[in-house]
A and B are shown apart, each in its own frame.
Chain A
Amino acid sequence: MAPKRNFLSIVLAETGGRVLLGLLLAAAILVPASNLLLPEGSFLHVPTYIVTLMGKYLAFALLALSVDLIWGYAGILSLGHGAFFALGGYAMGMYLMRQIGDRGVYGNAELPDFMVFLNWTELPWYWHGFDAFPFALVMVVAVPGALALVFGWFAFRSRVTGVYLSIITQAMTYALLLAFFRNDMGFGGNNGLTDFKEILGFNIQAQNTRAVLFSLSALAVAGGYIMCKLIVSSRLGRVLIAIRDAESRTRFLGYRAEYYKLFVFVVSAMLAGIAGALYVPQVGIINPSEFAPAVSIEIVIWVAIGGRGSLYGAVLGAILVNYAKTYLTGAMPDAWLFALGALFIASTIFLPKGIVGTLPAFGTGKRRGQKS
């Protein structure tokens, strides 16, 4: 019989996962410590802007995890995950807008600036409750989760799979892009939500706040990894892999593939929403551009480059590609899209299993990736 598997033995089963969790924990402690405690001139001092930049990468890493969970394990290639990320971000942004109070340009304590500008006199009903942080936190997962539930219910029940599913996820995020661009939707139109002042009473620009947001992002990625790992290591995870590899065979074994997909799709959307909520206070803005189809495609490229179907590969891919993006957009602003395209093509040709599927250092003895 197989050895008894407990929580730790599952979570720490792979070298890549152990390294990832170790690095995340170390970063969550050491980066803020260095930023806050070491003098600015010190060689080991991490400047605040770097802390925030890395915090943003970690939010992307969590987003990449959410995509790998469905694409790597259930074969659901979502090209619309940016939508769930953005919805989580908007939920957090709405809370942050409410915290501005009367400190906006118009000094209106009841309404955000953009509503005053539109001559609105009353807060729309769907903005109610966002003054309260716990309510906003619930919405961060509930809104993306609900959209995923409704969308997935129709898509999976009608057995929309493969490239057709990818196309309708693109359509979904594009429709939301158009909707959020409209001023009368009440989400700030193309400017989105910005000019945040405080989070839970702390100045959002302050060094301490930034450090804490970074740590929380690192812990969220660690938590997300652990949760995904537990899911994919369970029998449910093996059913997902079975669905990925031979969906109809799974049905003939008596599994309702649509419910399994729906479950994991909703979990993934919620994770993406949390990623968005971590992203927004760190970058200080959320606007409809996050719904752009190209943004969602980029997420998939991170996962492909890092290595689909290993979870830690997605984290690695997100961080590496975004580091390259920061560097390249600084050095050659126009070159980024071409570089991304080239990177994607190169990785599919030379690293079809991504970085972690190719480097022997990440060998796990037992790869669950697809055979070619």
Chain B
Amino acid sequence: MNLHASPSRRDTILYLDGVSVSFDGFKALNNLSFYVEVGELRAIIGPNGAGKTTMMDVVTGKTRPDSGDVIFNGGTDLTKLDEAHIANLGIGRKFQKPTVFESQSVFENLELALAGNRRVFQSLFFTLTSVQAQRIDEVLETIRLTGDRAKQAGDLSHGQKQWLEIGMLLMQEPDLLLVDEPAAGMTDAETMQTAEMLKRIAGDHSVIVVEHDMSFIRALGCRVTVLNEGSVLAEGSLDAMQADERVIESYLGR
């Protein structure tokens, strides 16, 4: 089923093998297998309903697969773990519909995402260190929200919420970032800035980005996986994908 030779699981940050998920008989993921290497930036494209978001749901513990393995960092099976556990292993996620904590400030949103102990009593007695405050300042800079740090997150524009959510991802210091449609609702300029942002982030992390915007994917300049009807249709460079008969058909056939 694999389109290319299996790597040793050791070098993969994420390894999906034969993952299937069905909703009331409808197969949202159908024997899906692919892997992403440590430090890689990977784009995932595919028509609406291809299963891109469902794949992220499976990886982050929101949805349990009916069958298949999801191996993180060469050894941990994620299919038995819950959301909080998986997050603490080092997987961060940006949702398709931007989800930030609307009634709290930009700064507080980032502080909540700050890597560290998440236990109840530690939270009760937590005080921000200057190193941590500096880290928040850096991320504010990266996501271009320094001037809006005190603003309520609910008052941000759609694009700024997307950035804030990416910033929250960074604060978590995850090994793997799953980014679902970061450019949705952004202007062209913002879209390009976001691509730059993700490329910079990819230097230190493994990143999987789902997007429909082809100019954005092109700007990322990375390997592309095409999903269709719950499994991998093709994988390779964006140019190769755009020339691929099956890929063209899967988009146009709808």
Chain A complexes with chain B = yes
* A binding-site residues for B, Cβ under 8 Å: 1-2, 231, 234-236, 238-239, 241-242, 245-246, 248-257, 259-260, 263, 368-371
Report the nearest B residue to A234, measured CB to CB.
B124
| A234-B124, A235-B124, A249-B99 known; A254 vs B87 contact (CB < 8 Å) | yes
Q: Are B130 and A238 in contact (CB under 8 A)?
A: no
* B binding-site residues for A, Cβ under 8 Å: 60, 62, 82-84, 87-88, 92-93, 95, 99-104, 107-108, 111-113, 118-120, 123-126, 128, 130, 133, 154, 168, 172
Cα–Cα, bound, A260→B107 (Å): 21
Give 9 A-B contacts (CB < 8 Å), ordered by A residue.
A238-B104, A245-B102, A249-B95, A252-B62, A252-B93, A254-B172, A256-B84, A260-B120, A260-B123
Q: Are B103 and A238 in contact (CB under 8 A)?
A: no
Within the complex, the shortest CB–CB distance from A48 to chain B, in Å, comes to 41
Number of A-B pairs whose CB atoms are under 8 Å?
A: 86
Contacts of B104 in A (CB 8 A): 238, 241-242, 245, 368
Cβ 8 A contact of A245, one of B101, B107, B118, B119: B101
| A2-B128, A254-B118 known; A241 vs B95 contact (CB < 8 Å) | no
Q: Which of A234, A252, A369 has the most CB of B within 10 A?
A: A252
List the 5 shortest-distance A-B pairs measured between CB atoms, nearest first: A254-B87, A236-B123, A235-B126, A251-B83, A254-B88
Contacts of B107 in A (CB 8 A): 2
Within the complex, the shortest CB–CB distance from B135 to chain A, in Å, comes to 12
Report the nearest A residue to B136, measured CB to CB.
A1
Contacts of A248 in B (CB 8 A): 62, 83
Cα–Cα, bound, A49→B82 (Å): 56
Contacts of A246 in B (CB 8 A): 99-102
Contacts of B103 in A (CB 8 A): 241, 245, 368-371
Cα–Cα, bound, A241→B172 (Å): 19
| A255-B84, A256-B84, A256-B118 known; A242 vs B101 contact (CB < 8 Å) | yes
Cα–Cα, bound, A263→B172 (Å): 24
Q: Are B125 and A371 in contact (CB under 8 A)?
A: no
Cα–Cα, bound, A257→B101 (Å): 15
Cα–Cα, bound, A260→B123 (Å): 10
Q: Beyond the given A255-B84, A259-B120, A368-B104, could you list 17 further A-B residue pairs with CB under 8 A, ordered by the A residue number? A: A231-B124, A234-B125, A236-B126, A238-B112, A241-B103, A241-B104, A242-B101, A242-B112, A251-B83, A253-B112, A253-B168, A254-B87, A255-B118, A260-B120, A370-B103, A371-B102, A371-B154
